[in-house]
Amino acid sequence: MIKENEIKPLYSQEQIQTEIRSLASKLNNIYGEQEVYLICVLKGSVMFMTDLAKHLTMPVKMEFIRLSSYGSGTTSSGKVNAVDIALPDLNNKNVLIIEDIIDTGHTAKFLMDFLRHNFQFNDLKFCALLDKKVKRAVDVNADYYCFEVDDKYLVGYGLDIDGYYRNLPYIGYIEV
């Protein structure tokens, strides 16, 4: 296990919260008074979703799903495991998928394809805290994101390495 002093800071807690408030303001303008379902991709996105939701003014319902493509490694396997996808009827709803990071895009594509196959949406958008476009392996993009990041292994603020360091209030990177 790496030690916290091996984590190099990238975004402070203050920088993260500033970007989240800015994103929430944009979403409030887009959706107005329309109801929105936030679908949080567990486990990494829970901190981002809860902080974002605190600044949203429209009626919000929160749902949670669990997908994985990393296991215990530091690179995406390219294979998405649907651990838990129990969702209510999302037909004719505004849905905003909340993800911690899009890197290869496999998880995002899997989820978008799954949802489009099973529901007809009023609006379906993808929102990520971090967008790692340099690692994109499939054609998928975030509709909204807070930070575009380089090819670093990130931890903190929900992001982990082997389950550790999700609880850090900042985002840092480690050398792998």
For residue range 140-174, what is the model confidence (pLDDT) as tens digits? 999 999 999 999 999 999 999 999 999 999 999 99
Q: In whole angstroms, how far apart are CA 155 and each of 62, 117, 122, 174?
A: 24, 32, 34, 8
C-beta of residue 120 within 8 angstroms of C-beta of residue 92: yes
Q: What are phi and psi of 145, to 5 degrees?
A: -155, 160
Alpha-helical runs (H) found in 54-158: 106-118
Is 113 a residue of the active site?
Answer: no
What the block records as the tokens of 41 is 């991709």
pLDDT tens-digit readout, 34-68: 999 999 999 999 999 999 999 999 999 999 998 86
Q: What is the mean pLDDT of residues 78-91?
A: 78
Smallest Cα–Cα separation from 60: which of 102, 28, 89, 84? Answer: 28
C-beta of residue 143 within 8 angstroms of C-beta of residue 124: no
**Model's pTM, two decimal places?**
0.90
Q: What is the pLDDT of residue 16?
A: 98
Domain count, the chain: 1
Query: In which domain, by residue range, is 43 found?
Result: 4-174
DSSP letter assigned to residue 138: S
What the block records as the tokens of 44 is 């990494």
Place of tokens 């030690």: 3
Active-site residue, from 103, 150, 160, 162: 103
What the block records as the tokens of 73 is 């490694």
Q: What is the mean pLDDT of the chain?
A: 91
Cα separation, 12 vs 19, whole angstroms: 11
Q: What is the pLDDT of residue 2?
A: 84
Element (H, E) at 82: strand 81-84
CATH code for position 41: 3.40.50.2020
